[in-house]
Structure formats: structure tokens, C-alpha cells
Structure 1
């Protein structure tokens, strides 16, 4: 009698839960297949956009786990398990982690934005957050710069992505902005000719765009000229130092005075 009772209950369980279990298994298999197809499609899209390898791996792993968690919740719900509490626990855990890692999440989001939109790339010479240097590494949470005197600067991606970035490497050419002052007794045309000759005689100063020399200011103790040659990015500092030195030599040779502060000593006879 007891055996028949248990057999009867077994049949009832099979009838009640059998279709749910079969449906759950089918959903699990189809879900894994769908996740695989989705990840392949996203991988192809990332390859076309030339995403950073580290960002691509991180995002794919994150998306894979998120989709699998959703699939598990769906499967449990199909079997008949109450998933409301489970979802609430996940939401609460996510909120707690988010509050605990606010700064890290901001840096992570900034790193994702930098890697997707690429305002900078490795090898660029940039200025950001009061620092200048060549981009050495772009990681998920930080970006590393190497300064001209070989110091490593680490900038959190959160502030980097939300602040101003000056990228000196975006364009192939760059203008150097000099201001040279001469005395008020100097002839303006002669001075402009001397300065222009310094520019045009330098082999690395570009002819197109053409260099320019303009009187920019009548200052308290000098006439100031804006001297603006264009150069290739890689020649910037070589030309900067060469022109500075050559200008001093050319002005001296032409007898054009470069004003400088003078100390006047007044002695009072007793």
C-alpha cells in the first residue's frame, strides 16, 4: 500500500515538474548557444572598431557573466523557484559594491570611455591634469605618462576622461610661438627682416604653412614681435632651441638691442 502511494506521488511529481525541468534544460541549452552567438557578434564589432585588447577581454568576460546570471535566474524561474528574493539580493549586493567602489568605478568608466573614443593613444604627447608627457600605457583604471625628463606620471582615468586634454600629436604639424623683444630705438622693418631670415634659413621650418613675423605689442621697455614658424611634430623641440639661439646671434650681429633690466645706483654725497 505504501509502495503504491509513493509510486503515485512519484507520477504526480513527474507530471507536475517533468515539463518544467525539460523546459528549463531546453532554455539552458538554447541560452548558452544564444550567449555564444551574442559574444561572437560583439567580438567582431570590437575587432572592427579596433578596441584595446585589455578592454575587449574585460568587457567580454563581464558581459558573459552578466548574461549567464540572467540565464540562471530565468531557468530557476522556469523550474518554479521564487526568483524575486534572489534578484533583490543581487541588486542589494550590486548597490553595496557600487557604493564601496565609487572611485574605482569612476576610473573604470573613464578607462572604458578613453579606450572606446580614443582621444589619446599610446605614443601621443599630451598635456592633462597639469602634467605633460608621452602616453606609455592606457589601462582600465589609470593612464601612464613618461615625461621629457623620464619620470612616470600615473593619472586616474576618471579625472582624465572628465578633464581637458591637449593632444600635441594629433596633427602632423605644429606651430611654435615665440615672442622676442627689441629696444625702442630699433628699426621695425630691419628687425622683421632679421627675424624672418632666421626662420627661412632653418631647414626644418616649413614653407607651407609659411612662417610669420608680426609686431604684437608695444610694451613698457620693448617692442615685442610674435615669431611663428611651423614645423613637423617630431622637429618641434630641435627647432625651438635652434631658433632661440639663432635669433640672439642674428640680432647681435645686426646691432639690434635686446632690452634687459638695468640696475641704477644713486649715491648721495654727504
Structure 2
């Protein structure tokens, strides 16, 4: 009896081997050839991305993505050849993809924005940019965020979705930056005279560009004085140096030409509690 069962099981095993062995061999051949083809396709994709000028940060990522997708397709073909039921697997993958997408909604937005930035290149590493009130030099452009070094030597890690949703000012695109300096003058003072004093003072600051010429005008009228706007042009790298030097030169010129500054008189003292 036991011998009959053994023969029965042996026959079943032989039948299964005869049935699956050709499929397994075919699957192995397809796996070997498929991965070889995928490797060649990925190399061609990498070369094409390089020729089209894609970012060095984006090229490896896209190549890896193509490789994963194609290898996944090869594995699905092999699973189909072996007779696996992929319906349940597709359902599981769909549910997992939906759950992961909901959990990483913000990260996926930053990822998509990073792809846009690296593809469209609104700025590059080394450019001076302003995103809302954040200003600095671009140090690194990543898939999820952009690192910006401020003039105060702080690194700002700005999410890429914030950049694509905001107005980005690229100061390096034109090769120059227009400073926005504000100074005041008393009402009784002559504006043409003060304007000429400021022009003369700006001419002593070495890194201010002569073309375009600095713009000087009346910004608004305050209760005690008139606010002037002074707009010299500088190279992006000289932003803060010229800002400090220009303000220093204007103050020195005002002192030499007896231009007075209005300020409220008197001090009101108040108590400070514990």
C-alpha cells in the first residue's frame, strides 16, 4: 500500500516536472536575455539624457527609474509564463500604491516639483535667487528640496513645491542685481541737491556698476521727512558688500554737506513690571 502511494506521488512529481521544467527553462532564458536588454536600454537612455542636457542630478534618477520599470516588466512576464495569478498581485500593488501616495502626498509634490526644476532649469547651482523673502546663492538642487546659502552664511533647505508655487527671482540670469536702499531727507532740503550728493557718494563705491546708472527718486512722504529710494546696480556676488559701503558713503556725504535727518524729539519713560 505504501509502495503504491510512493509510486503515485512520484508520478505526480514527474508530471509536474515535465509540465513546469520547460517553463522554468524558458523563464530563465527570458530573465537572462531580458536583464541584458534592460541594461543596454538603460545605457542608451543615460546617453540620450546626457546629450539632451539633462541635469547631472536628474540623469541617474531617471536611469534608475527606467531600469526598475523594465526589470519589473520582465519579472511580470516570467511570472505569467510560470502560470502565476497576477490579478491579486495587481490589486495588492494598487492598494499599496494608493496608501503610499496618501501618506507621502507632500513628499510626492516636492518630488514632482524637483523633476520640473531639474528639467526646466529656472536656476542653476551658483545663481543668486529669491523665493518669497528667502534670498541667497543656490548650493544644491535635489529631487525634494533646494539648498540656498544666505549672505549670513545660513543654509536654507527650501521644499521644491514651495519654489514651483512661488515667484522665483533669479538675479544671476541678467548678471546684475539692483539694490534697494532707502534714505531720508528733511522737507526744507532741495531734492536735486541731495540727489547729486548721493550720486557723488555712489561714485566713490568701487563695485557699483556704471551702466545702468543708479536710480534715485522720492519714494514717499512721511510725517517728519521725505523717503528717497536709491537703486544702484551691482554684481550678485557684491550684494552685501556694496550695500554696506553705499550706506556708509551716503552717510559720510550727508555729514560733509550738512544734510540733516529729521527725528522725533523727546523720550517718554515707562515702567517695567516684574
Q: Return the TM-score normalized by structure 2.
A: 0.77
d(CA) in 1 for partners of 2:99 and 2:219? 59
Deviating beyond 6 angstroms after TM superposition, the runs of 4 or more aligned structure 1 residues are 16-23
Q: Is the 8 A contact 1:196 1:212 kept in 2?
A: no
Aligned to 2:55: 51
1:206 shift after superposition? 1.6
1:114 shift after superposition? 2.6
d(CA) in 2 for partners of 1:123 and 1:165? 15
d(CA) in 1 for partners of 2:150 and 2:165? 21
2:74 paired with 1:71? yes
d(CA) in 2 for partners of 1:264 and 1:138? 51
2:205 paired with 1:198? no
* Match among 200, 215, 218 for residue 215 of structure 1: 218
Q: Secondary structure at the match of 1:137?
A: strand
d(CA) in 1 for partners of 2:159 and 2:221? 44
Task: Tell me the C-alpha RMSD between the 2 structures.
Answer: 3.3
d(CA) in 1 for partners of 2:230 and 2:211? 15
Q: Secondary structure at the match of 1:158?
A: helix
Q: How many residues align?
A: 259
d(CA) in 2 for partners of 1:142 and 1:45? 25
Q: Is the 8 A contact 2:128 2:236 kept in 1?
A: no
2:154 paired with 1:151? yes
Cα offsets for 1:6-63 (capped at 9, x unmatched): 6xx96x996x87886776566545543442333122201222324234x332332232
1:201 shift after superposition? 3.4
* Match among 234, 258, 261 for residue 258 of structure 1: 261
Q: 1:233 to 1:122 in 2, by over 3 A?
A: same
